[in-house]
Amino acid sequence: MKKINVFGRIALGIVIAYVLFHVLILLQFIPSNVVWGGKIIEPKTMLVLEWVALLVLLFLGSLILMKTKVIPNKWQEKTLNRWLLVFSVYFLLNTLGNLLAESIFEKAQALLTLILALSLFKMSKRNP
């Protein structure tokens, strides 16, 4: 197996942790009031949002695996780098949202999302 650089390992580790987190929410091992600002009450809406979050994270994970050459890259390197940059900006904005959240749990997520944003940014600027 190919050795993954430090930014890839960090990003992949955080994404895997968030995938597990969202799966545990879907399985109701973690209460759903700790995500989405605790404002989503309707179970059907929560289910849709959690599935979307999970699919987005799986897509991001596949991008990271392609960038690190663990799986074959089906896109041009430029396209892959742009996707990583888009996700970097997304998680930077998510960091700001987490800092403005009311719950301590979501505020604590700001550090993880910031690290993920910076790792994705660094990955988008590097050649494999």
**Closest CA relative to residue 90, chosen from 124, 66, 65:** 124
Give the length of the chain: 128
The rounded distance, in Å, linking the Cα atoms of 87 and 119 is 10
For the residues of 55-90, what is the DSSP string, one character each?
HHHHHHHHHHHHHTTSS---S-HHHHHHHHHHHHHH
What is the per-residue pLDDT across 78-128, written as a single tens digit (0 to 9) for each? 999 999 999 999 999 999 988 988 888 888 999 999 999 999 999 999 775
Q: What is the pTM of this model?
A: 0.89
The rounded distance, in Å, linking the Cα atoms of 57 and 75 is 18
pLDDT computed for residue 92 by the predictor: 97
